Amino acid sequence: MRVAGVPSVARIAVLALALVLPVVALAKAPVPYQLAPWKDDLFAYPRILDRAYDGDYLEVEYNRPRDLYARDVERGTKVNPKYVSLDTQEVEGTFSLDTPAGAMKYIGVGATGGGAKAITIFVHGFGASMKAGADDWIHGGNFNRLKNLMMRNGGVYLSAGFSDFKAKGTAQIKALVLDQAAKSPGAPVFLLCGSAGGGICWRLLYDPQISPLLGGIAFLDADMVEGYVKTARDIPPPRRVPIHISGSREDTVLGWRSQLAFFKKMKAAIPDYPIQFVLFSAGTHGLSLRMTDWRVTLNWMLSERRKLQTQ
């Protein structure tokens, strides 16, 4: 017998199932891959002095007494140990790769054997070597943080050695990208390009084999290629590569004005292209290697890449 106003057992079961199903579906929804915080209190950007283009342009304060003198125990060569964790040494090694342009070496940290969720490759500038991108103590410990971020988030970090900044070096870095992409299929490749290393990265951005593999490129105190503004207009959104640019106001080697001009031209020509520019208020050439917030930068690229893939 059914009593008026009291739902049947079957009706109750249906209602309960209707309430449970959305919760189950939500629980099974994949969580987007992002780099989890690690020592953010020490490495996050300090005071923001200026912000424009919906946050795609930032001027970040650089204060030598705080960001250099107080941060290093030996200025420029050894950071305060609180900025460093040597846990990465357990998954770090030096490797060789035979390429069509000759053998090359690189230092790898994290999932070097494959299965990485993300691949990050540092391309150094003039007067440096692969050791500069793997030294735990220089650049304010910023590369140690990068190594830890990749290791702790299922990624791989590589600091590449190469023969020159021309065709041969470009071919070697290309071979390294292809090798890593084969080991970790589907993992986005991020190129971090210091100074003259930017020339190699620009060539790879134009390379039809490499560009589809890229999750983003960071040009750190590097020259811009003006012709890319015209090229980028014809690139459909899903094939666009997020670009991060950084420089400093006291850089007399390169100068930040050309970087800012390129950024503004890109914004004017293609307002929705994923590009950002971080300008440090002081500091000389190479400061970006000390002050760039890797987690914020890489997470921005990952987020923009997901947006592009849905367009």
**pLDDT tens, position by position, 44-78:** 999 999 999 999 999 999 999 999 999 999 999 99
Q: State percent of the chain over pLDDT 70.
A: 91
C-alpha span between 169 and 30 (Å, rounded): 39
- Determine what percent of the chain falls in helix, strand and coil, rounding each to the nearest 5: 40, 20, 40
Rounded to 10°, the helix 167-183/197-206 angle is 60
Per-domain residue ranges of the chain = 36-309
Count of CB atoms within 10 A of residue 226's CB?
11
Arch. (CATH architecture) of 36-309: 3-Layer(aba) Sandwich (3.40)
pLDDT digits (tens, 9 = 90+) for 172-190: 999 999 999 999 999 999 9
pLDDT at 122 over 70: yes
Q: In this structure, are residues 110 and 184 in contact, taking their beta carbons and an 8 Å threshold?
A: no
Q: Averaged over 140-147, what is the pLDDT?
A: 98
**Range list of H helices, the chain:** 9-28, 40-43, 64, 142-152, 167-183, 197-206, 228-233, 257-269, 288-291, 294-309
Strand partners, 156: 110, 119
pLDDT digits (tens, 9 = 90+) for 221-234: 999 999 999 999 99
Report in angstroms the alpha-carbon separations of 12 from 17, 25, 172, 189: 9, 20, 66, 51
C-alpha span between 9 and 23 (Å, rounded): 22
